[in-house]
Amino acid sequence: MPPINPRQLALDCLLESDVQRKLALTAAASAAIASNSNWTLTPDNPPIATIPLPGRPPNPQLVAPNQLRQRKLNSDAGRAALVHAVAHIEFNAINLAWDAVYRFPDMPVAYYRDWASVAADEARHFKLLADRLAQLGHAYGDFPAHDGLWQMALDTDADVLVRMALVPRVLEARGLDVTPGMIDRLRRVGDLATIEALNVILSEEVRHVAIGSHWYRQVCAERGLEPKASFLQLLQAHAIVLRLPFNDSARLAAGFDRQELDALAALAGSGQR
């Protein structure tokens, strides 16, 4: 089997702007990384560079979060807007997972396999939501969206410890918190098809946050850092605002512990930054 370069495969996926080609490249690259142990993995091939914008289609139009309209879920258009918002998160999550593979060259083999598998999951999640959008008469790009997720990638691109702390353990963990509420709202309007997709995504996102928790703690151990105190320090250093309520059961399954959740809830309740 010829050698593969996981970082180059990740970069190819990351920079691809055509949605269908990105999904196909992601499936092929993640399968290759999972099955092929003949790797070329060097810090300078490809060289590490800041990526101001990942590969993505010309639409959706990106706007400030406060410019996004809140739509009621008792119409197909309102439900489509919600599905589109989650699809946009999942599309960004594909890029974030591949950036985690590309950007940090000195991690163990298991790290690259973990994040390649996350990229594959995120691509499947996006496809689930794109299919649901089609059923509702829309496509990805039909509604405006915001770009806060990629901004976090830029803010954390210098240190794998910061990336593992603030992307999976903040952004993706927030998804664990808010998805049950979305499911409840959709149940009230009888949208069982969207609920089915969100249930799949919620169950699999627990593993993604757990992967982030594992590698966050691994890097903390290598650097002689206490994980809980370091996490709180990073939240405050990056002015991260946490919002209650937490989905405690999902967060506990995803690598948080009770003491840590209590400390995070106290921080959120105090309004500290």
- Give the span between the Cα atoms of 13 and 24, in whole angstroms: 9
Q: Number of structural domains, the chain?
A: 1
Give the pLDDT means over successive 10-residue stretches in the chain (273 positions): 90 97 98 91 85 94 74 87 95 97 94 98 98 96 87 94 97 96 95 96 97 98 97 94 95 96 90 46
Q: Is residue 129 part of a domain?
A: yes
Q: Is residue 131 part of a domain?
A: yes
Radius of gyration over every alpha carbon of the chain, rounded to an integer in angstroms? 18
- Give the span between the Cα atoms of 112 and 108, in whole angstroms: 7
Residue 133 burial (10 A CB sphere; 0-12, 13-18, 19+): buried
First CA to last CA distance, the chain: 51
Q: Which residue has the tokens 């997709």?
A: 197
Q: Is residue 56 part of a domain?
A: no
Q: Is residue 47 part of a domain?
A: no
Q: Is residue 224 part of a domain?
A: yes
Do residues 115 and 66 lie in contact, with contact meaning Cβ atoms separated by under 8 Å?
Answer: no
Check residue 273 and give its pLDDT.
39
Check residue 74 and give its pLDDT.
82
- Give the span between the Cα atoms of 191 and 20, in whole angstroms: 27
Q: Is residue 22 part of a domain?
A: no
Check residue 141 and give its pLDDT.
95
For the chain, the 3-state helix, strand and coil shares in percent, each to the nearest 5, are 65, 0, 30
Is the N-terminal amide bond of 46 cis, ω within 30° of 0?
yes
Q: Residues 232-268, buried b or exposed e (16+ Cβ, 10 A)?
A: bebbeeeebebeeebbeebbeebbbeeebeebbeebb
CATH number at residue 261: 1.20.1260.10
- Give the span between the Cα atoms of 96 and 26, in whole angstroms: 12
Check residue 67 and give its pLDDT.
65
Check residue 58 and give its pLDDT.
94
Do residues 116 and 34 lie in contact, with contact meaning Cβ atoms separated by under 8 Å?
Answer: yes
Domain with 210 in it: 70-270
Please name the residues in contact with 24: beta carbons below 8 A apart, sequence gap of 6 or more.
none
Dihedral angle over CA of 229, 233, 234, 240, nearest 10: 120
> What does pTM read for this prediction?
0.95
Coil, strand, or helix at residue 209?
helix
Helix axes 192-223, 109-135, angle to 10 degrees: 160
